[in-house]
Amino acid sequence: MKMIPRVLGLGVLAIAAAFGFSSAQQSGTPAPEFQPSGIWLNSAPKKVADYKGKVLLVNIWVHSCINCHNSLPTLRAWYAKYKDQGFEIVGVHTPEFASDKDANALKNSLIQDKVTWAVFQDNLEKTWNAYNNRYWPAFYFVDKTGKIRETHAGELSSRYPDAIPGLEKTIQNLLAEK
């Protein structure tokens, strides 16, 4: 099992916040390569290197997770606001349950939730493992050179808004870097 059940998820996130997102890739390290095991949606297949010169948000999520779903309005707003400035999002859809591996269910979810950025299936958890990830949702902010500069675990929404201003400032700062 990848993590403690969602019922305990907020407690896990509180501990992660208190002690840092230590199990994940650390700030300053190169972003691990994407290792899709399933289809790409909203984009042709890409590599991390294809995003050099851009600011990339790697979002590890699953469409059946309420915390992931609740984060989508924040991601849509950031994408609309910063895409023309060189900001991109890649959704790494890593299933929690066997039913999450269904490509048609994922396609329908993207349409229903108005997700227009690139998403790929990580059905074998290869990218999840490459990022040493432990949480849904998880966010990895990658600079123009391909290095992880910031990480965040947990919902980004009006229910849990505290991290949003600082993470948006991270996007702005990374976009401003030469």
Domains and CATH numbers, the chain: 28-176 (3.40.30.10)
Residue type, 177: E
pLDDT for 22-57, tens place per residue?
446 677 899 999 999 999 999 999 999 999 999 999
Provide the pLDDT for residue 53: 98
Q: Is residue 133 a contact partner of residue 34, using CB atoms and an 8 Å limit?
A: no
**Does the predicted model carry a pTM greater than 0.85?**
yes
Query: Which residues, other chains included, contact 152 with Cβ-Cβ below 8 Å and sequence gap of 6+?
Result: 21, 138, 139, 141, 163, 167
Q: Maximum Cα–Cα distance for the chain, whole Å?
A: 43
